[in-house]
Amino acid sequence: MAAGTLTIVPGGLGIIDNALILGLIAGGLDTPTAIAAVVLYRLINLGFVIGAGWIAWGLVLRRTRREQPQRISMG
C-alpha cells in the first residue's frame, strides 16, 4: 500500500509490480512464478477492466446514435 501512494505512472506500473514480486518471493514463491502471477494480475486488473470500459463506451455510442432523430433530405 505504501508503494502505491508514491507512484508517478498511472496504475502504479513498475513500482507496484516490483513490490508485488518482492512480496511474493519473500512469501516463498520462486522468481518465475512470482513474475507470472504479477503479470496475470496486471492483465486482469488493467487489461480486462480497460476492455470492459471500451465495450461499455461502444454500447453507449451505439445507443446515442440510435436515439438521434433521422434527418430526411428533400433534395
Please report whether residue 4 resides in a domain.
no
- pLDDT band for position 13 (cuts 50, 70, 90): confident
Taking the alpha carbons at both ends of the chain, their separation in whole angstroms is: 64
Please report whether residue 1 resides in a domain.
no
Domain that holds residue 39: 10-66
Rounded to an integer, what distance in angstroms lies between the CA atom of residue 14 and that of residue 70? 49
The amino acid at residue 12 is G
- Greater confidence (58 vs 70) lies with 58
Residue 73: what pLDDT?
66
> Could you read off the pLDDT of 20-41 as tens digits, one per residue?
999 999 999 999 999 999 999 9
Please report whether residue 72 resides in a domain.
no
The amino acid at residue 50 is I
Residue 43: what pLDDT?
87
H-type alpha helices, 1-75:
2-5, 15-26, 31-42, 49-67
The amino acid at residue 24 is L
What is the number of domains present in the chain? 1
Residues 6 or more apart in contact with residue 42 via CB below 8 angstroms: 13, 17
Please report whether residue 18 resides in a domain.
yes
